[in-house]
A and B are shown apart, each in its own frame.
Chain A
Amino acid sequence: MTNIQSLFSFEGKVIIITGAAGAIGSAAGHLFASLGANVVISDLNEQGAKKVAEEIEKESGKATLGIKTNATVESDLKALVDATLAKFGKISGLINNVGWGANTPIWGSDTDKMVQSYLLNTVGGYNLTKLCMPHLEKEPNASVVFSGSMVGVSPSPEFIEYSTAKAGLMNMVRSMAVVSGPKVRFNTVLIGSVDNGEATLKAGYTPQMLQALADMFVMKRRGAPIEVAYGMMFLMSDAAQWISGIDLRIDGGGSYKSKMPTNND
């Protein structure tokens, strides 16, 4: 009989998490460290990254690294990989979590906004993964998890830049998955509306919109950041050693009162 406890141990693993000063990334950092991993907390917000890394280190007793990274700047990504290797000597897992999208009317975007969103939400993950691959390939059950979004699946005209970039990301990950086995596994978590505090309000949602949204879900609530982290943890664990190329939706069971009919509702 397999010992299931050992399947979810991350002892001896080094995991890079981007966008990790935010709600979901930091929840993942806390979770992986509590299960034995050394986590690298990367974020554009340097102060936030260092604070989260310190909190995790204090809570878990596991060494961490907090580092500023602009995911759209290649030299920053290289510095992230170099700093990780200098401190921990290896990379066992990568969570490409960084991403953001503004609430933009469908005809309110332009070339620059579209390209910037693509660079942040799609290309950054590509570049960082490419840099990590030679190191991941050396580690047992190495795994990469991307944070996708439900806006990349269903029509989302109010997030035209972000939803387009996230849709591209999904197929990019599937392509990575089919050529990278058996050494490295690739999966995506498709995240529904998660209560990540300020960030959602900054993206243009009002509290009234959020309540209306919560009421539409099967689970009648928005998700907690840790619930997304749990899914990431499962996909990265030894329990998921035969899982690659999937999209795991963590979205409160979804909604059937969608604004637009889709095949997925």
Chain B
Amino acid sequence: MTFNQLFDLKGKVAIVTGGGNGIGKACCETLAQAGAAIAVSDLKLQDAEAVAAQINSAGGKAIAVECNVTKDEDLVRLAETTVSQQGGIHILVNNAGGGGGGRENPFKITVDDFAWVFKLNVFSAWRLSQLCVPHMKKDGYGSIINITSMSSVNKSPNMSAYAASKAAMNHMTCNLAHDFGPEVRINAVGPGATKTAALASVLTPQIEATMLAHTPIKRLGEASDISGAVLYFAAPISEWVSGQVIFVNGGGVQTLD
């Protein structure tokens, strides 16, 4: 068995939301290297275009699609554009998300703030899966990977909306596995603190030192650590794996407090 046979995604099409930066960008690059055609979706078209251009110049096949995952019409357009331009949908990485960062003071945020986090992190992943699964079933291959978070199991102050939304995503993943199987698999990957622009906005040297004190593999995550796990779930080698949530976190816990 050669590497190419194990991870061959030639002829497969992958959508990655939030694909313009950080973990999403690494997922686009990794899946493209394995041979998949990519729809790089991002709120910022320019970022998506830069990633798509990089993949295309390396001999891959990528398109950029502007998409605000909290807007239904954008999700519909993302699925339709991908099918019409790339020929189908086989892999979906629900990576776009936000909130948290220790900024959710429960006495200051509103119901609308809380609902927005759920709309961004949970409803969008559910809705886009609903739009993509029929295409996956039609082609007889489907793998959905939800990017969850360590905060789905950690306990931290000022994170209640984000953490609850990611916990919801975990359990949604386990339940949808029963709805989508056996043709379509759905799993989740939970990154620990990973070196991206999003983390840089809240990271201080003191926070990093505390995080590493509780991390057996003494470093923060790289985006490629996460995309490696995504590749395992995207590829046919995990065809008997569904409904799983795994954490890529250096074996430890990194919290902001």
A157 within 8 A of partner (CB): no
Decide if B250 touches A244 in the complex (CB within 8 Å).
yes
Decide if B224 touches A243 in the complex (CB within 8 Å).
no
Q: Which residue of A lies closest to B185 (CB)?
A: A253
Decide if A243 touches B251 in the complex (CB within 8 Å).
yes
Work out how many contacts link A and B, with CB atoms closer than 8 A.
152
A201 within 8 A of partner (CB): no
Q: Which residue of A lies closest to B251 (CB)?
A: A244
What distance in Å separates the Cβ of B176 from its nearest Cβ neighbour in chain A? Answer: 10
Chain B residues within an 8 Å CB radius of A245: 216, 251-252
Give B228-239 as 1s and 0s: 1 = Cβ < 8 Å from A's Cβ atoms.
110110000111
A5 to B3, CA, bound (A): 6
- What's the tally of chain B residues with a CB closer than 8 Å to chain A? 45
Give B5-32 as 1s and 0s: 1 = Cβ < 8 Å from A's Cβ atoms.
0110000000000000000000001100
Decide if B1 touches A219 in the complex (CB within 8 Å).
no
Decide if B239 touches A253 in the complex (CB within 8 Å).
no
Assign chain A's interface to a size class. Answer: 35 or more
Chain B residues within an 8 Å CB radius of A23: none
What distance in Å separates the Cβ of B188 from its nearest Cβ neighbour in chain A? Answer: 12
Decide if A35 touches B216 in the complex (CB within 8 Å).
no
A186 to B221, CA, bound (A): 17
Decide if B1 touches A34 in the complex (CB within 8 Å).
yes
Decide if B240 touches A4 in the complex (CB within 8 Å).
no
A256 within 8 A of partner (CB): yes
Q: Which residue of B lies closest to A3 (CB)?
A: B33
Decide if B1 touches A35 in the complex (CB within 8 Å).
yes
Chain B binder among A64-72, A118-126, A130-138, A177-185: A177-185
Decide if B7 touches A4 in the complex (CB within 8 Å).
yes
Decide if B251 touches A30 in the complex (CB within 8 Å).
no
A240 within 8 A of partner (CB): yes
Decide if A250 touches B240 in the complex (CB within 8 Å).
yes
Chain A residues within an 8 Å CB radius of B177: 218, 253-254
Decide if A244 touches B246 in the complex (CB within 8 Å).
no
A248 to B229, CA, bound (A): 11
B34 within 8 A of partner (CB): yes
Given contacts A35-B1, A178-B252, A243-B251, contact A250 B216 (CB under 8 A): no
Given contacts A218-B177, A230-B237, contact A253 B242 (CB under 8 A): yes
A182 to B219, CA, bound (A): 9
Decide if B225 touches A181 in the complex (CB within 8 Å).
no
A73 to B46, CA, bound (A): 63
A78 within 8 A of partner (CB): no
Chain A residues within an 8 Å CB radius of B182: 218-221, 253
Most buried by A among B177, B219, B243: B243
Decide if B216 touches A177 in the complex (CB within 8 Å).
yes
Decide if A242 touches B238 in the complex (CB within 8 Å).
no
Chain A residues within an 8 Å CB radius of B117: none
A256 to B251, CA, bound (A): 29
A240 to B252, CA, bound (A): 14
Given contacts A241-B217, A256-B178, contact A250 B241 (CB under 8 A): yes
Decide if A242 touches B225 in the complex (CB within 8 Å).
yes
A48 within 8 A of partner (CB): no
Decide if A180 touches B216 in the complex (CB within 8 Å).
yes
A179 to B218, CA, bound (A): 11
Decide if A1 touches B33 in the complex (CB within 8 Å).
yes
What distance in Å separates the Cβ of A262 from its nearest Cβ neighbour in chain B? Answer: 12
A212 within 8 A of partner (CB): no
Chain B residues within an 8 Å CB radius of A256: 178
CB contacts under 8 Å to B, within A154-203, are: 177-182, 185-186, 192
Given contacts A181-B217, A219-B182, contact A249 B244 (CB under 8 A): yes
A226 to B212, CA, bound (A): 35
Chain A residues within an 8 Å CB radius of B240: 192, 219, 221, 223-224, 227, 250-253
Decide if A242 touches B249 in the complex (CB within 8 Å).
yes
Chain A residues within an 8 Å CB radius of B243: 218, 249, 253-254
Most buried by B among A8, A9, A186, A221: A8
What distance in Å separates the Cβ of A163 from its nearest Cβ neighbour in chain B? Answer: 20
Further contacts, 9 of them, CB under 8 A, given A227-B239, A251-B240 = A178-B252, A179-B216, A185-B216, A227-B237, A234-B237, A237-B228, A240-B228, A243-B248, A253-B242
B-side residues, CB < 8 A to A, are 1-4, 6-7, 29-30, 33-34, 58, 177-178, 181-182, 185, 192, 215-219, 221-222, 224-225, 228-229, 231-232, 237-244, 246-252
